[in-house]
Structure 1
Amino acid sequence: MSTLADHYFSSCIDYLETLGLNSQAVLSAINFNEYSNKQAQQLAPRISLNCYNALLNYAQQTLNEPLFGFKLGQQIRTADFGILGYLIESSNNLASAITALLNYDSLVADIGRAEFEQQGELAIIRWLPNTNCSPQVILRNMTAWVSVIRQLLNPQLSPSTIYFTQASTSNEKTVLTHWFNCPVKTNAQYNQVVFPSSYLALPFKTDNTQINLVLKQVSEQQLSRFKSQQLLTEKISQLFIAKNDLIDCSLIRTAGALNMTPRTLQRHLKREQISFADLLEQERKRRVILCIGKEPLSNIAIKLGFNDQSSFNRAFKRWYNCTPLQYLKTLPKNIG
């Protein structure tokens, strides 16, 4: 189950209270009951992605604010990230802060994966969210990244471009463009922030090398404990997400990557009431929506690990009750 840290969830409740919403009423409205039976956990309580989605969607509807996740992300504090926030805060520059994010982001929220790459004079930090993440969750995550970096470097600092996979109205896009102070692209292949590579060397005001080293040790300990509690289902899903494509993504290869025999892996998955084929199909279904309309269907079929185009077409029809070509005709024109 994809989860997030209690303090990251609670910061949403705190913000809603500043807007006049009673926290108990909000939790009751989303049928929240996840604090029960959590006290015995070794780690701090973790909240399910389902509850997080419900909270943000409830706030969006109650406040009639289509950009609620964006508004929430603007209010982020480094403390809301828990130990990762303090680790980032004590980094010596943006490059080391991004390294901390890549390594320990799951301590805050195990609901997606961050990636980083450089392309000449530009740097890119990309977020691959869990397929069940709502648009409001994505808005908060991307906005929070920029907000925290501005707090630690310069309030006027702006990315080169921001990309969102979701659509937006012209009014919403105007609001986003004004705050990010850069072009905002919607209906994109990835959620990502593009910025000049020169930013990577910018020094942080709160640089503290000794504290940073201690926090890294604590983060490693917490990450080790967190991973030991993860379901095998989650570990396999993370392996899939980390792959550039799903070619040769077999049971045998996956079991080997986890230092298991295929039989042992299947036995553990059976206890979790899911099969390897189900997990692979979930990842294929997640990826196809990110790719379709952006590259030829034949390329997508190969990248998703299908033996031929007809197998891909049959799977797509099973998922969406239409063929890939029929689905393409339903897509809105790119408003980005």
Structure 2
Amino acid sequence: MRTLPHPVVRHWDFPRGIASVALLLRFGASRGLRRDALLDGSGLTAGHLADPAAEINAQQELAVVRNLATHLPHAGIAAGQNYHATTFGVLGHAFLSAATVQDAVGVALRYLDLSFTFTAPTAELDGDRLVISLHPAALPDDVRPFLVDRDLAAIHTVIGELVTGEVPVLSVDLAHPAPPDTRSHEEVFGVRPRFSAGRDESVVDASVLTRALPLASPEATALCERQCEDLATRRRGKPGIAGEVRRVLELSARFEETMPVVARALGLSPRTLRRRLTESGTSYQALLDEVRSERAAALLPTASVDQVAAQLGFAEAASFIHAFRRWYGTTPGNYARTRGISDV
């Protein structure tokens, strides 16, 4: 049975390279926007942009995205089309040298925090369908539609480059309302999305996963993955405040820690922790949900729903099932069955 790995992260607050900001600045310039207007509030300087190896935090890129979305609110799809495999550096070269599309998708999910995504994408197999879902709930409202369009367009653009042909898209659902002109969406996806759909997902014929890639090289793949691992290890060792909170929660046995307890563990007052998380575009509850959802997915292969609910600190299984449906869009039982897990 074909399986796909879980994403290494389900959030967007991770360090990233400068390449995405540089791309967005070029895109904005092509639409007549000034560089200083797009950099406003980001704290980024000419020195950052001149260094191709510069690393920035997610908030800095988000500031550029916000400025771009303010001026061009419906340009997310067009921006996403400018993201190519090579945009992602060594991660992109790992895509290109993979043996099949499935191998490339696996690399992307294992090293998602080396990308520029803000929408926490996941990829799951549902029979003969590959379901690519975005999870942008933690994003600020003013940038969410732009980033959903950008990230999904980038994903499809890169897959199209890998297979050097048309991606067999079956359907696209987007939670935000339809823009005045949907032609760019139809051009990228090959179908007209269903807007105001309550979810953000693209469904592709799963046969695309078996396609052999023309630049496949096992030696290059091994080298690129080693470099990805080295880079990821270094970056993951420098978490922001959201990462510090996640680390405390991940060490929890039953998630009994309240925000004041976590704040005290980090040497902060609850008010300061709340403010810093807000500035990072997230909240204590969102981080708790992220860690709980990841723990739930890891526990389901070996534990019953009642056992998982108890280990996650839920008072009853019904509350856990409700939360799980919110996290993954399905019940724990259905989630387990689609992965070949029995007796859940």
TM over 0.5: yes
Which position in structure 1 is the counterpart of 2:148? Answer: 138
2:86 is the counterpart of 1:74: no
Closer, same or farther: CA 45–283 of 1 in aligned 2, 3 Å:
closer
TM-score (norm 1): 0.67
Counterpart in the other structure of 1:167: 177
Mapped to 2, the partners of 1:219 and 1:153 lie a distance apart of: 22
**Structure 1: 5+ residue runs without aligned partners?**
241-248, 257-261, 287-301, 312-336
Which letter does structure 2 place at the counterpart of 1:131? L
**Identical-residue share of aligned pairs (%):** 15
Match 1:23 to one of 28, 35, 38: 35
5+ residue gaps in structure 2? 1-12, 291-308, 320-344
Q: For residues 176-215 of structure 1, what are the structure 2 equivalents within 5 Å?
A: 176-215=185-224
**2:285 corresponding residue in structure 1:** 281
2:15–2:235 CA contact under 8 A, matched in 1:
no
Label 1:37 to 1:149 Cα distance change in 2 as closer, same or farther (>3 A).
closer
Q: CA deviation at 1:12?
A: 0.8
Question: Whole-Å Cα distance in 2 between the matches of residues 90 and 153 of structure 1?
Answer: 12
- On the 8 A contact 1:56/1:69 being kept in 2, the answer is no
TM-score (norm 2): 0.66
Alpha carbons of 1:176 and 1:237: their partners in 2 closer, same or farther (altered >3 Å)?
Answer: farther
Contact residue 80 and residue 154 of structure 2 kept, 8 A? yes
CA RMSD of aligned residues (A): 3.9
Q: 1:103 to 1:250 in 2, by over 3 A?
A: closer
> Shift of residue 179 of structure 1?
3.4
Asked if residue 87 in structure 1 is aligned to residue 94 in structure 2, the reply is yes
Q: Report Cα offsets for 1:81-115 as digits up to 9, x if no partner.
A: 12211111111111011111101121123634232
**Counterpart of 1:128?**
135
Q: CA deviation at 1:267?
A: 1.4
Verify the 8 A CA contact 1:158 1:182 in the aligned structure 2.
no
Partner residue of 1:52?
A: 61
> Take 2:247 and 2:188, find their aligned partners in 1: how far apart are those partners?
32
**2:19 aligned partner:** 7
> What is the CA–CA distance in structure 2 between the aligned matches of 1:98 and 1:157, rounded to whole Å?
14
> Distance in 2 between the 1:305 and 1:3 partners?
31
Provide the residue aligned with 2:238 in structure 1.
Answer: 229
Separation in structure 2 between the aligned mates of residue 139 and residue 150 of structure 1, nearest angstrom: 16
